[in-house]
Structures are given as C-alpha cells and as structure tokens.
Chains A and B, each alone.
Chain A
Amino acid sequence: MLTITNKGIRLLSAATVGAAAFCASVATASADVTIRWMYVEAVPATIAVWTKIGKDFEASHPGVKVEMQFLENQAFKAKLPTLLQSKDAPSIFYTWGGGVLKAQADTGSLRPINAGLDADGGKWRKSINASAIDGLTFDGKTYASPFKSGLVSFYYNKELFKKANVDASKIATWDDFLAAVKTLKGAGVTPIAGGGRDKWPLHFYWSYLAMREAGKQGFADAKAGKNDGFAGKPFVKAGELMADLGKLEPFQNGYLGATWPDALAAFGDGRAAIILGFENTLATQASNSTSRKGLSEDNIGRFAFPVVKGAPGLATDSFGGLNGWAVTKNAPPETDEFLRYMAGIDVQKLLAKETQIMPVAIGASEAVSIPLLKDVAETLAKESWHQNFLDQDLGPNVGAIVNDMSVEIVSGGTKPAAAAQQIEDAYSLERK
C-alpha cells in the first residue's frame, strides 16, 4: 500500500528540482564543443605530455573541451572499424596511413583536411615536410594530418665490427653488406639479429630491397599493375637478393622462433652485431636486453640500407612509419584548429624532446637531442621518398603475405619468383 505523505511530496519536489538543475547543467555542458581524440599509447610519461597538450589547447580555446582516450594497440585496432560506423566515432584518431586509412576514407567516414592545409596561402602545408603530407594523401585528398615519421635503418655494434675488422662506413651497396656479413661470420660473430616469429622484422629486408630494385616510379607502377605488378622483375630480383642473404645463414640460432623483443635482446646483449630496426632501437635494445642496460650509446652506430648496384633506388629513399591524425566526417569544426595546434612547431618540438618522436614540422628536428636520433631526424628531413610500412600501405592482407613471403624466402621455403607471384595475386584483389 502506498500512502503519499507530506514528507513524500517534499522529497519528490526536491528530487524534481534537483533533476531540473542536473538537466540544465547538461544543457550548458553540451553548448560547449567537445573534440574526442583517440590514441594508441601506454607509456605514462608520454600520456602525461599529451594530457598537457590537450589542457593547454583547452586553456587557449575557451568553450572547447578535448576528451583524450588512450588505448592499447590491439584494442584500438579492434574497436575502430565499429566505432567509425557508429554515432560514437571519435573526432580525431591516430592512423598509420596507407591502405587502412584509404579503406576508411573510401567508406566516407573521414573528412579531408585540404581546405585547412591550404588556408592562409598554404601556411599549414608549408610548415610540414612535403613527403609526410604526400604519404597521407590519396587522389589529391589528404585524409590525415602528419604527426610523426620513422626510419628503418641498420644499427650495429661498434665493438663487434672492430673485432671482425669491418668498416661500417664502407657499406654502400648490397654486395658490400653481404661481404660484411661473411667477414663477421668468419670472425665468429653472429652477424644479424632477426625476429622471424613476428615475421614483419624480416619484411624490412624485402621491402627495402624492392624499393632499391624498383625505385619510386617502379613501385608506383607495380601498385598500378603495370609491368606485371609485384610479380615483375624488380620484385623477383629483390627476393633473389634476400635469398642470397639467407644462404649465408646470417641470423642468430632459432631466429625463426624469435620475436622482435627477442631480436632486440640478441642485439642488446651483444649476441649479434647488426639489427635492421626502427629509429627507437637505441631505447628498445636497452629495455629488452638481459641486463636492461643494453649496449651503451657510443657502442652503437647506424648506416642506411645499402643501394643495389645498377638499380634505380636511392640511398635517400627511406622506409619507415608515417603516422598522422585522421578526422571523422562529423567532427566539430574546431577540430581543424586542434590539428593545426598539434602540428605546430612548439608542440612538435615538445614531443620530439619529451617523447623522442621524429617530428614532421620543418625545423622541429633540432629539438631532438640524442645524437643517434638527431642523425635519423636529419636523414628524414633530407629524404627523397618516404615509403610507409607495406602492411599499412598495401593493406593488412597483402602486408601479411609480404611478411610470410619474406620469412619463406630468407629461410629457403619458397622461391623468389613464386613469392612475388603470391604477393601480386593478393594485391590484384585490392586494385579496383
């Protein structure tokens, strides 16, 4: 039985007033603009830097709220496809560029940023490395604002090179490299640390060799399906050169079961002399080594992936990551302002200094203080072509096949021509 007492009525009216007040506060909150930003990051220090960037932007732009969400890599990738198709799509999200970004753009869920880039006489566009913008542009439309770049190059253990009497500065061609591998082996040093279980660490070799063999134009032609596409001569040749390396058995024992952290540990422990790795190898070889200290900074040298004699690829053609911020179609107009803010020289310098990224804003590389990283930043600033990782650029399926084939070629499981054909077969489905 319910009896309505005076007390009950008072309570009810109090609750109504409270609810009305709550609704009013929601209404004022929604009058402001919220930019929802999604990133893949787990390092607390980096998250702190980004949180500060968001807060600073909010302080200088009253009425704009930046909601930052940091996710773990796999969770991010799994969540995004569904999110993009829902009403909860973030305004801005982190992208690796390439075929995945293009697939997202093709569904119409993204908004190109060309208008912003070219406003004020192209002020924004002019402040960023052209190759970085180029890498995130499809059919003239730029779908993401470049944020950071990366470079895959050879890192070597100076002491072991000295022991085997190898001069890294003399390695300019693939033949020089193979000769160095042989010399190292002869001196009882394991030449290369490889992560065959993860596969992609070995796809760096195939990708670079394909870039050197085909050159920028040849690579673009292959994507367009000209000259037999990826089954064409340069790509078969790249496989053959990689097989040559495999025949020398240059990797540490059990490399086919080794992950990327295992490979970094082999390099950081001084168990292998060379690693083909990212720009952050200096830090990661240390954190993955048995001692957690790894090789000292002055014991590590760097050289560019060698060229192939007589092939069109240049030593300044670089291979590495290219990341940016993609904007979804329903993002508030203020989003462009935040993008410009993030791409600005101050934020880029801050990120380069605090989080060791390779910045894309012109002039920001001077904030990189560690010599080995500075060298990378300067190389990137002078690059003639930036090729994104193939699993991003050619899409995850073809990328996975490139990874599979790279391992098969180097371990002698598949002939280079058959491998090139498999890659072409898979890519032919993506060309529409």
Chain B
Amino acid sequence: MAHSKWPVLILFLPPALLLFTVLVILPMGEAAWYSFYNWNGYGSPTQWIGWRNYQLIFRNGAFTQSIINNGLIVLISVLVQIPLALWLATMISSRIKGALFFRLIFFLPYVLADVAAGMIWRFVYDGDFGLVAGIWHFFGAEPPFWLADKDVAMYAILGVIVWKYFGFHMMLFIAGLQAIDKSVLEAADIDGATGFQKFRLVTLPLLGSTVRLSVFFGVVGSLQLFDMIMPLTGGGPSNSTQTMVTFLYNFGVTRMQVGFGSAVGVVLFVICVTLAFTYKRVFMRND
C-alpha cells in the first residue's frame, strides 16, 4: 500500500499546497514583515522601526477598548445568547404545533447579511425617525440616541448581536437534541424524573459537545465581528464600540498605516490561534 500513496500525493497535494501557500502563508509572512515598518503603502517599505508599531498598539486606548468589547461579546454570548438559544431549542425541537414556523422565524435574522442587519438596526435605533424614536414619542418622551452615546452604544450593539446569532445557536442545539436517543429520556420518565431533572441530568450532559461547539463559534464570531459594527456605529462614538477587526480597519486601512495595520493583524492572528488551539485542547478534547 505504501508505494501507492505517492502518486496520490503528487497529484493532489501540489494544487492545495500552492493555493494555501500563495493565499495564506505568504500574505501572513508579508504582514509580519510589514509590521516592523512605518509604511503608508506607497513605494516599498524602507523605514524600519522595530517593535514600535506593537508598542503603539498596546499604548492605544482604542485597542484596549476593542479587546474589552470582544470579551464582552463572548461573555454575552455565553451568558445570554446560548442559554436563550438552548431554552428556545428545547421548546421547539419537540413536535408541538407551529414548531417549524418558529424555527424559521428565529433563524431568519441569521440568514440576513451582517451589513443589512446593521443598517436595519441603525434605523431602529435612530432617535429622529427610528422605531425607538416612535415608541418614545408615543409615550410623550424625548427619544434617546443610543448609538450616539458612548456609554450605551456597545450595549445597543450587544442587543443586535444576540438577536442576530441566537437563531444559529438554536439550530445547533436542535440538531444536538434530535441526536439524543429517545429511549434515554423515556427511561428517565419511567424512573419518575421531572421535566427539569430530565433537562439537567440527561439532556444537558448529552448536549455537552454541542454547547462547547456553540461557545467556540461565539468566540470565533466575536473575533471576526466587523460588518455589522461598521453600518451601526463605525466603531464610534469615541471608539467605544471598536472590535479588534474594526480597530484594524479604522486605524490601519483608512489611515494608510500599512505597517501599523499589519502589526494589528499579527496580534489578532496570534490571539485567534492561541484561543482556538487552547479551547480545542482543553474543552473539545473528547468531541
């Protein structure tokens, strides 16, 4: 058998390896190289500044804020979004009337493009003509401008994130619930377990791998969050809603600080790789 492996390798490996090298490894290496230069993208990088870009990143208040925000998104995802999704999933995975309809309704926000969702919610939150303004006006109150208030804007965005992604997590849980052997639950019934006992002692432990996967997606999603923030706040006011990726875009790309932007990219890459591997190793070892 061993000798027959080579033709396959020679035939199938080069295209994938070439693509991966050209599209992933090379740009990453290039970004790491640029990150040591003060370079605006014109000509070739010549001004070597060592670790200065990295020092600037960690001294930048907006970057610290973006890390806090990314953490906040993970936290909300674990504390609010996943429990909510799990609760809804347990309700509509059973064959109750209209379950399919609700599944569709709850999943709809996830289908929507992130940019579109961001724009829709920008109108909802608008203090002049938005839905929020309408409700406040109805009660005769002066409408708030949540997205313009640096103390509130991030919470408004967290609300949108929960709304947008809970359907996705719910679908994961529904799939997980359907994979649970019905006879286990029937056995619990015969043993006289209550509904809550069944959930806590049977369903939840059997859903463990789905929950861990769900949290993993939450973390990865938080690190990637960009296209919804841009139409909502663009990272403002006063950088209060920056995530790491919007920070990279606002401080690297739009300011033509290619060196600085590359350094942010490298930091983001290191954080992503560390988180992904640690999480997989620690929590998803047996999945």
Q: Which A residues fall within an 8 A CB radius of B?
A: 81, 84-85, 100, 103-104, 106-109, 196-197, 199, 253-258, 262, 290, 395-397, 400, 407-408, 411, 413, 429
Contacts and interface: CB of A to CB of B under 8 A. Distances in A.
16 contacts: A81-B41, A106-B43, A108-B43, A109-B43, A196-B148, A197-B148, A197-B236, A199-B236, A254-B145, A254-B148, A257-B145, A257-B233, A257-B237, A290-B129, A396-B40, A407-B237
Question: Most chain-A CB neighbours within 10 Å: which of B142, B233, B238?
Answer: B238
A254 B234 contact: no
Given A196-B148, A196-B237, A254 B256 contact: no
B27 to A, nearest CB: 14
Nearest to B40: A103
Contact of A396 (B153, B234, B254): B254
Contact of B128 (A108, A254, A407): A254
Given A255-B148, A256-B148, A397-B257, A197 B233 contact: yes
Nearest to A257: B148
A197 B236 CA distance: 7
B233 A106 contact: no
Contacts of B129: 290
B252 to A, nearest CB: 10
B109 interface: no
Nearest to A429: B38
Contacts of B150: 256
B255 A397 contact: yes
A84 B233 CA distance: 33
A367 B26 CA distance: 55
Given A81-B42, A256-B150, A407-B236, 17 more contacts: A103-B40, A104-B42, A106-B42, A197-B148, A197-B233, A254-B127, A256-B149, A256-B236, A257-B145, A257-B153, A257-B237, A395-B256, A397-B255, A400-B250, A407-B237, A413-B238, A429-B38
A290 to B, nearest CB: 8
Interface string B17-41: 0000000000000000000001011
A256 B256 contact: no
A36 B135 CA distance: 55
Contacts of B41: 81
Interface string B49-85: 0000000000000000000000000000000000000
A159 B250 CA distance: 40
A100 B254 CA distance: 13
A411 B43 contact: no
Contact of B255 (A85, A257, A396): A396
B149 to A, nearest CB: 7
Given A397-B255, A397-B256, A256 B237 contact: yes
A81 B257 CA distance: 13
B147 interface: yes
Interface in B221-237: 233-234, 236-237
Contacts of B127: 253-254, 257
A171 B54 CA distance: 48
Given A103-B40, A254-B145, A197 B237 contact: yes
B40 A411 contact: no
Contacts of B147: 254, 257
Contacts of A290: 129
Contacts of A258: 148
A391 to B, nearest CB: 9
A350 to B, nearest CB: 33
4 cross-chain pairs, A with B, having the tightest CB-CB distances, nearest first: A254-B145, A257-B148, A107-B43, A254-B148
A407 B43 contact: no
A411 B236 contact: no
Contacts of A103: 40, 42
A407 B62 CA distance: 15
Interface in B140-196: 142, 145, 147-150, 153
Nearest to B41: A81
Given A407-B237, A408-B238, A395 B148 contact: no
B234 to A, nearest CB: 6
Contacts of B38: 429
Contacts of A108: 43
A400 B257 CA distance: 11
A235 to B, nearest CB: 20
A420 B142 CA distance: 36
A206 B154 CA distance: 28
Contacts of A100: 256
Given A84-B42, A85-B43, A411-B238, A400 B233 contact: no
Nearest to A82: B41
A290 B128 CA distance: 11
A67 to B, nearest CB: 24
Contacts of A429: 38
A254 B38 CA distance: 37
B140 to A, nearest CB: 16
Nearest to A74: B254
Contacts of A257: 127, 145, 147-149, 153, 233, 236-237
A258 B130 CA distance: 13
Contacts of B43: 85, 106-109
A400 B233 CA distance: 16
A257 B233 CA distance: 7
Contacts of B142: 253
Contacts of B233: 197, 257
A400 B254 contact: yes
A255 B237 CA distance: 10
Contacts of A407: 236-238
Interface in B214-269: 233-234, 236-238, 250-251, 254-257
A66 B285 CA distance: 64
Contacts of A104: 42
Contacts of B256: 81, 100, 395-397
Nearest to A102: B42
Nearest to B260: A397
